[in-house]
Each structure stands twice: as C-alpha cells, then as structure tokens.
Amino acid sequence: MAKREQVEGVSAGEISDEALDLIATRFRVLGEPNRLKLIRALEGGELSVSGLIEATGLTQANASRHLQTLTQSGILGRRRDGTSVIYHIADPGIFRLCELVCGSVQTLLARHASAFTSN
C-alpha cells in the first residue's frame, strides 16, 4: 500500500471527491495510445475485432483487452454478429473531448516551437 493522505481540509468544491475519482478514471482510460487508436479506427463506423486488429496493427489479445476496458467505461458498445463481435462508439462525446485535447496540445506545441524560433 502506498496511499496515505490526510483526509482533512477538503471543503470548497463543486465536485465531490468520488466524482473526481470517476472523472480521473475516465481520463485514464483515454490516456492510452492504443486505446485512442481503436477509437480512431471506429470513427468511420462500427468494426469487428478482426477489423480493428487490421486497422490498428494491435495483437488480438491486446486489442481485446483494450476493447474490454473501453466498453466497461461506456465509451464503446458491442454487438454480436455470428462468431464476430462488432464494436461501435457508444459515447460520441469522446469526439469533442479529443478535439479539445487536440487544441490544447497544438497550442502547447506552438508555444514550445516559438521557444526555438523567437526569443
């Protein structure tokens, strides 16, 4: 165990600590390149696991695990079709999220870049 923080001085917050945990979990699920790859592959529409494997280059086992993570967190949805399982994006809000992060990252990169050129 490596967690032992004071449980004091909380107060003043619109968001409870449990909510914070949920939000953090959400972010953490999205904080994995291969999972983002899977999401990106599903932007164009639903795909089977093998389709996703082909699109992303991931290992079958690895893809399956990430897909499980994404599905459990409500980001993706699944549907059976014969022997294959078809995944789709269940929470379109993801797109706006990624857009926002893209924006932030770009401005960040721009700032870093200008640190080389200007000054």
Partner DNA sequence: CAACAATATGCGCAATTGCTCATGAAAGTT
Partner DNA sequence: AACTTTCATGAGCAATTGCGCATATTGTTG
Determine if 20 is a binding residue for its own copies (CB under 8 A). yes
DSSP 10-50: ----SS-HHHHHHHHHHHHHH--HHHHHHHHHTTTS-EEHH
The smaller minimum CB distance to DNA, of residues 69 and 91, is found at 69
Determine if 57 is a binding residue for its own copies (CB under 8 A). yes
Whether 38 and 63 have beta carbons less than 8 Å apart is answered as yes
Residues 6 or more apart whose CB falls under 8 angstroms from that of 96 comprise: none
The smaller minimum CB distance to DNA, of residues 6 and 118, is found at 6
Query: Which residues make up the interface to its own copies (CB under 8 A)?
Result: 5-13, 15, 17, 19-37, 40-41, 44, 54-59, 62, 73-74, 91, 93-94, 96-98, 100-105, 107-109, 111
